[in-house]
Amino acid sequence: MNEIDMTECEHLKSSILLMAVHLEKLAEEIDNDSIKEMLTEILDARHIFVLGAGRSGLVGRAFAMRLMHLGLSSHVVGETTTPAVSKGDVVIAISGSGQTRSVSDLGKVAKDIGATLIAITSNKDSKLGNLSDVVVELPGRTKEDIGGYLERHMRGEYSYLTPLGTSFETSASVFLDAVIAELIYITGASEDDLKSRHTNIE
């Protein structure tokens, strides 16, 4: 077994602190109007569909679950029990780069059907961003920035953050949890309301 050098733990702590600073900056810079639009669309939707690939998809699953706990009709795109998307529905697509082909292609399908498309991305000028009715931009490094990140490390210019130099998924997870908190406040849902919809066969 390899012996752990305590300096490695310091790097770990530095990463946590850098992420905390990043999230503070995110809270200050995020656009209020786009958040209001997103909240309005969610509350007015017949059904809400959440879409994402890879780690962004995992963040989306957690968000869809919380929407269900709130009593909203939510589904994850790609699941076998997910119903058809229709006009009047909302599709929330999560992609840091906004260029993930599977996500942007499915976003276009949703738009063609007549659903409202909401993008959660770090690149509002991306293919997904340009397709969407509402864009919530989460500033931060995505996997597309990895080249510069690795180059800085090779030169000894360390900036510990998250694996592969990405921070989007963590930002998206925290943001979407905050969206749920805001929806709880708006709707007046209680802790008991949420618990009553939690799975009871796990």
Active site (catalytic) residues? 169
Q: How far is CA 120 from CA 51, 57, 111, 193, in A?
A: 10, 12, 16, 27
- Scanning the structure block, which residue is given the tokens 């998307």? 85
Is residue 72 within 8 A of residue 89, CB to CB? The reply is no
Interatomic CA distance for residues 97 and 152, integer angstroms: 21
Burial class (CB in 10 A: 0-12, 13-18, 19+), 34: middle
And the tokens for 53? 């690939």
Encode burial over 145-175: b for 16+ CB neighbours within 10 A, e otherwise. beeebeeeeeeeeeebbbeebbbbbbbbbbb
